[in-house]
Amino acid sequence: MRRRLRMGNLWPWKLELRGTPSRTMTYLSPVLAVVLTMLLGALLFIALGKDPLAGLKVFLIDPFNGKRAISELLLKSIPLILCALGLAVCFRANVWNIGAEGQFTVGAMCAGAALVLIDVPGHAIPGGLGLFLMIVAGILGGAFWAGITALLRDRFNANEILVSLMLTYVAQLLLMYAVNGPLKDPNGMNFPQSKVFSGEFMLPALLSGTRLHIGFAVTLVLAAVMTVFMTRSLRGFSLFVGGAAPHAARYAGFSSRSALWTSLLVSGSFAGLAGAFEIAGPIGQLLPSVSPGYGFAAIIVAFIGRLHPVGAVLGGLVMSLLYLGGELAQSRLGLPSAITGVFQGMLLFLLLASDTLIDYRLRRKAKV
């Protein structure tokens, strides 16, 4: 008689549904995901023929090696945290905005266009006013791009996931047109870029001798403001209820249409602000490569932070660590640039896997 060997019977554990979701695992899951990512990263280094301890040192220790290294870590976290703050509002409201990358790009493009118009020889606009106008242009640009998604969802019931994602590629094409056309530097030797902006229109340094600018302090203030908004205001509560229990929200008189527009406009504004900070901070001009994927990485950051502003700050620092670790791994270990994306992908996959333990527990199977 033929015996059938089922692989499932070889595994001595099973998933058992919890009576109530585990609050402990809700906060422990991101920590578990980060630890498992580093352990799998060590195995990846071994597979690539690299010393795993040296590889983990590059990712976990070297980004904290001195004042300049720490300042770069904080600098890299600014756009990640800002985008994640906006995405947390959307996801809490059950509005799936996947287009923060496009909103970041349009915000940077609008802010760059404002500086190109303002930063001319003999201008009469003070640097402080110019910075303010640049930031407003970035915020409005990001909000406008997110508003397109809100309009199509509101009027035609279009899927916001597809619309926001597709608009990201439209935004990238618009940026390429801008830096090859109206915003192109006439003295830039035909490179697709804007001119380098004057120092008076750059964000002031927060730490002398480093590239860290005042945008980091603004980001922390905004995280505190969003914490109050999401946890202590009626509007924030209505967004949360609308996402968690739509029928209860309608019964309570909360407008789903208002939640859609509010969440997307807030998210787009934060992404646009991040784009403005990027071109008036570490880049100093408008380039086609203005973002290495901050808007997409911020989705992971938002979920690492449990859709909470304080968590978004911590998640942004973790993701910034992966970005800097990937750059150092290229220069010191000779690894390809894709190593950053591999670590980000592992972190996302392991976070989703660890989140399973919020609603389920591992139980050993009874012996038959």
| 212 located within any domain | yes
Asked whether residue 131 is assigned to any structural domain, the reply reads yes
For the chain, give the mean pLDDT.
92
Please report whether residue 3 resides in a domain: no
pTM of the model: 0.93
Residue percentage of the chain with pLDDT more than 70 = 96
CATH code assigned at 239? 1.10.3470
30 pLDDT more than 80 = yes
Q: Which domain holds residue 117?
A: 21-364
Per-residue model confidence as pLDDT tens digits over 53-94: 999 999 999 999 999 999 999 999 999 999 999 999 999 999
Q: For residue 305, is it within any domain?
A: yes
pLDDT attached to residue 9: 60
Specify the number of domains making up the chain.
Answer: 1
Category of 11 on φ-ψ map: left (φ > 0), alpha (ψ -120 to 50) or beta = beta
Q: Is residue 16 in some structural domain?
A: no
Q: In this predicted model, which residue has the larger pLDDT, 252 or 230?
A: 230
Residue 150 pLDDT > 90, yes or no?
Answer: yes
Does 15 reside within a domain?
A: no
Mean pLDDT across the stretch 159-178? 97
pLDDT value of position 210: 93
The answer to the question of residue 254 being in a domain is yes
Q: How far apart are CA 298 and CA 106, in angstroms?
A: 16
Residue 178 covered by a domain: yes
pLDDT number for residue 11: 66
For the chain, report the end-to-end CA distance as a whole number of angstroms.
21
pLDDT at residue 4 in the model:
45
